[in-house]
Chain A
Amino acid sequence: AQSVTQLDSQVPVFEEAPVELRCNYSSSVSVYLFWYVQYPNQGLQLLLKYLSGSTLVESINGFEAEFNKSQTSFHLRKPSVHISDTAEYFCAVSRPVSGGYNKLIFGAGTRLAVHP
């Protein structure tokens, strides 16, 4: 069975500072990896994902994450955060299955608070 551990429940940071949100997973099989973001009072939105190929994946708003198979990690980074990045971030894994659907296993979430 897969599981996801997000190592920090809250990360406070000042605007324009870099940030890293840590995610480790456990699985005995190959997995897909995701970061979802939840802005206040909204549903979750996909931020970025790793399926295969290049281990570094990027989002359109400056976040990036690197898949590290040996360390079973998928940490999320941004070199310079904005106030608008304040949100809760969820790391998730899924196992490739047939049948046209996937079951996501979510971490507990990391609340990123960006201060001016």
Chain B
Amino acid sequence: NAGVTQTPKFQVLKTGQSMTLQCAQDMNHNSMYWYRQDPGMGLRLIYYSASEGTTDKGEVPNGYNVSRLNKREFSLRLESAAPSQTSVYFCASSPPPGTGGSTDTQYFGPGTRLTVL
């Protein structure tokens, strides 16, 4: 049981380049989330997916797109990277109600450290 996995761990991009951050969970969780972490600002929600087939904008969605590929996988795409997107990106998931797990705990991946030059 690997929990939440993210790839890559590190990435350096030039301004204007595109890339996709991958996230997968093997805990059969319904809900998945993408956050960015910046110094002094905590974590801010970019997008979330309450269940397979649905996605919604969070607090800071501009410049990003997401795909909920299936129940396990939730990817984050930067179409044209900008220096303001330099950050650490975390994916998280949470279980559905009535399964014995708590709907109120999110499980985080190890993060992707992205630098945009």
From A51, A101, A103, residue with most partner B Cβ within 10 Å: A101
A window 81-116: CB within 8 A of B: 90, 94, 99-104, 106-109
Cα separation A96 to B96 with both chains bound (whole Å)? 14
| Complex: chain A residue closest to B44, CB-CB | A106
Q: Assess the A43–B105 pair: CB atoms within 8 A.
A: no
Contact A49 B90 (CB under 8 A): no
The answer to whether A100 touches B97 (Cβ under 8 A) is: yes
Q: Answer whether residue B75 sits at the interface, using C-beta atoms and an 8 A cutoff.
A: no
Whether A32 pairs with B104 at a CB distance below 8 angstroms is yes
Interface size class of B (residues with CB under 8 A): 20 to 34
A102 touches B42 (CB 8 A): no
Contact A43 B108 (CB under 8 A): yes
A32–B106 Cα distance when bound, in Å, is 13
Q: Does B25 have its Cβ within 8 Å of any Cβ on chain A? A: no
**Known pairs A90-B42, A100-B30; A44 contacts B104 (CB<8 A):** no
CB nearest neighbor in A for B93: A101
- In the complex, the answer to whether A104 meets B31 with C-beta atoms within 8 Å is no
Partner of B108, one of A4, A32, A44, A51: A44
The answer on a CB contact under 8 Å between A49 and B96 is no
Q: A78–B56 Cα gap in the complex (Å)? A: 38
Identity of the chain B residue whose Cβ is nearest the Cβ of A102 in the assembled complex: B104
Given A43-B109, A43-B110, A43-B111, answer yes or no on A101-B40 (Cβ-Cβ < 8 Å): no
Identify A101's interface contact among B42, B50, B109, CB under 8 A.
B50
Contact with A along B97-109 (1 / 0, CB 8 A): 1000001111011
Q: Which residues of B contact A (CB under 8 A)?
A: 4, 30-31, 40-45, 48, 50-51, 58, 90, 92, 94, 96-97, 103-106, 108-111
Extra inter-chain contacts (17) besides given A103-B58, A109-B42, CB under 8 Å? A6-B42, A32-B104, A34-B104, A43-B110, A44-B92, A44-B108, A46-B106, A51-B104, A99-B50, A100-B50, A101-B31, A101-B94, A101-B103, A102-B104, A103-B48, A106-B44, A108-B40
